[in-house]
Amino acid sequence: MKTPSNWLNKILNLLLVLPLLLLSGLGVYWLWQSGYEQAFLILFAAFYAFVVVLKTLLKKKTTHTPDYPTVTANEEWPPEATEIWARINALAEKLNPADYPLTDSQRLIELAKKVTLEVAGYYSSNQDKTGLDVPLRNILFITEKVSRDMRCLLDDKIPFSHLLTVNNGLQIWKWKARLESGHFLFRMGSLLFSPVSSLPRELKQFFIGKAAAYPIGSFERWLLQTLVKTIAYYAIELYGGQSVPLRITETAQEPELTDSTLSKQPLRVLIAGQLKSGKSSLVNALSAKLIAPVDVLPLTGALTPYKLNHDHLGEMLIYDSPGYDYENAWYESESDQNLGGFDLILVVCAANQAAREADVKFMTALRAWFDQHLKRRFPPVLAVVTHIDQLRPIREWDPPYDIHSPQNAKAQAIREALDYISSTLDIPANDCIPINLKPKYEYNIDAIWSALVEIQPAIHRAHHLRRLTEGKQREKWALIRKQLEHAGRFAVDQIKKS
């Protein structure tokens, strides 16, 4: 029920508008009495035509797109996924909503199949029969993931999406165009009857209101692009070996392979370096207790793992490796121990040793291995520079040393040694850590742990891909074994029934 105060407010509002209406009427009456109405209409039409043409030209050059969420690549993907993701993005940008109407389910299915085959063909070794390399279970897996993500995206980002159908959405855009046309007529009438107040409003809407004008069809285009990228995302995860769709839980011998179980696997750290560079001493220093043998002669004849635990990094397996030289290197032998089995590499370099050919050979072999295995990510590499106390002046040892702004000869010598190792091994200078492992004179060991914590995300990305690659093969054979067991039971049951 309307109260007297509401009526009073309406009357007051009307009184406020009356002067503007009166001024507009007097303006039109004056133009008519003075005989200027024809000239004014011509001037008004020319001005508004100029504004409309200018606005149309600007709209063609700068089309604003709504700030819709976008699908991006997974940071944990290996390098091989970069090319196919770029292809899919190029495909998505060229999509025309008119070619794939959101109301035509058949066309959308064809688009989904096209994207899936594109990804499958990229990873397939049989390019001539790509269509046969898309198993039904893969399609079901991708469909399940895409449907869930698209539903959640619409629920979270698009108002009233849970109430509207696709047809409703298209009708809204049509009505939006009609309402804009009606509003145009209203503005024309306002300019005729009240040019003084209407012209500033029109100019403001032209120069400022453009930012709020979304092009019709942008929503459909965004939906199509999001659909394509989401399908490609899970297809890359599946065919690139990044996802874990299989679940083996029935046998105790084969644990379930999931992201959580993968993350529980200990990190693998390789300590590599030349003979007598201080590798075993580094293992002892990192563990804060004597766990690796140290002697005047190299004692480590093969990769020797030591288990450590760190508050931030968790469980780690530190692999002490045999010292290498330019002629003999353990990683060149034919064995199960290869350069791809680690998540972090610590290259121990003695600062008082100028020869770096063996270290360069090791880094070259390491990079070559990962260049040939693009499903894996190159692990972080730190250069641990030992024996810095042996740099000139040899008798001086008064840490700490400011190597960023050297103030004395010792600090300058350490800085030069780090720069030389950095440039020779192509390792960033910030990833070269000077330490001293001499008993009772230990220095800067904590800097290694600080560096590891800082690059922890990169370490875990390398660890994730390594565990996926190793676990996929075990899980594949476990699934085949389970399927054969079920088939055998079914055959036996059928024989018994007969």
332-340 contact pairs (CB < 8 A, 24+): 332/365, 337/302, 337/303, 338/369, 339/365, 339/366, 339/369, 339/370, 340/369, 340/370, 340/373, 340/376, 340/466
Q: Is 381 left (phi over 0), alpha (psi -120 to 50) or beta?
A: beta
User: If you average pLDDT over residues 105-132, what whole number do you get?
Assistant: 75
- In terms of residue numbers, what domain contains 42? 20-58
Looking at residue 131, its pLDDT comes to 47
Is 403 found in the same domain as 300?
Answer: yes
Looking at residue 4, its pLDDT comes to 57
Is 47 found in the same domain as 91?
Answer: no
Q: Is residue 293 part of a domain?
A: yes
Q: Please name the helix (run of DSSP H) or strand (run of DSSP E) that holds residue 319, with its range, or none.
A: strand 314-320
- Which residue, of 239, 273, 306, is where some domain finishes? 239
Q: How confident is the model at residue 259 (pLDDT cuts 50, 70, 90)?
A: very low
Is 47 found in the same domain as 166?
Answer: no
pLDDT at 397 over 60: yes
Looking at residue 465, its pLDDT comes to 85
Looking at residue 483, its pLDDT comes to 60
Question: How do residues 429-456 score in pLDDT, each as one tens digit?
Answer: 999 999 999 988 899 999 999 999 999 9
CATH number at residue 398: 3.40.50.300
Q: Is residue 434 part of a domain?
A: yes
Q: Please name the helix (run of DSSP H) or strand (run of DSSP E) that holds residue 431, with its range, or none.
A: none
Is 413 found in the same domain as 302?
Answer: yes
Q: How confident is the model at residue 36 (pLDDT cuts 50, 70, 90)?
A: confident
Winning range, highest mean pLDDT, from 95-104, 214-223, 378-387, 462-471: 378-387
pLDDT at 460 over 70: yes
**How far is residue 218's CA from residue 461's CA, in Å, rounded to a whole number?**
36
Looking at residue 248, its pLDDT comes to 29
**How far is residue 498's CA from residue 496's CA, in Å, rounded to a whole number?**
5
User: If you average pLDDT over residues 248-252, what whole number do you get?
Assistant: 32
Q: Is residue 484 part of a domain?
A: no
Looking at residue 250, its pLDDT comes to 33
Half-sphere exposure for 359 (CA within 13 Å, toward CB): 30
Beta strands in 228-313 (DSSP E): 267-273, 304-310
Q: Do the beta carbons of residue 292 and residue 306 sit within 8 Å? A: yes
Number of domains in the chain: 3
Q: How confident is the model at residue 254 (pLDDT cuts 50, 70, 90)?
A: very low
Whole-model pTM: value is 0.61
Q: How high does pLDDT run on average in the chain?
A: 76
Question: How do residues 155-186 score in pLDDT, each as one tens digit?
Answer: 665 555 555 555 555 555 555 455 455 555 55
Is 429 found in the same domain as 281?
Answer: yes
Q: How confident is the model at residue 27 (pLDDT cuts 50, 70, 90)?
A: confident
Is 444 found in the same domain as 412?
Answer: yes
**How far is residue 228's CA from residue 92's CA, in Å, rounded to a whole number?**
6
Maximum alpha-carbon separation in the chain: 114
Looking at residue 89, its pLDDT comes to 93
Q: Is residue 4 part of a domain?
A: no
Residue 400: asked if its preceding bond is cis (omega within 30°), the reply is yes
Winning range, highest mean pLDDT, from 48-62, 130-144, 235-249, 332-346: 332-346
**How far is residue 339's CA from residue 351's CA, in Å, rounded to a whole number?**
24
Pairing between β-strand 314-320 and β-strand 304-310 as defined by DSSP bridges:
antiparallel
Which DSSP symbol is given to 454? H
**How far is residue 458's CA from residue 465's CA, in Å, rounded to a whole number?**
11
SS3 311: coil
Is 322 found in the same domain as 188?
Answer: no
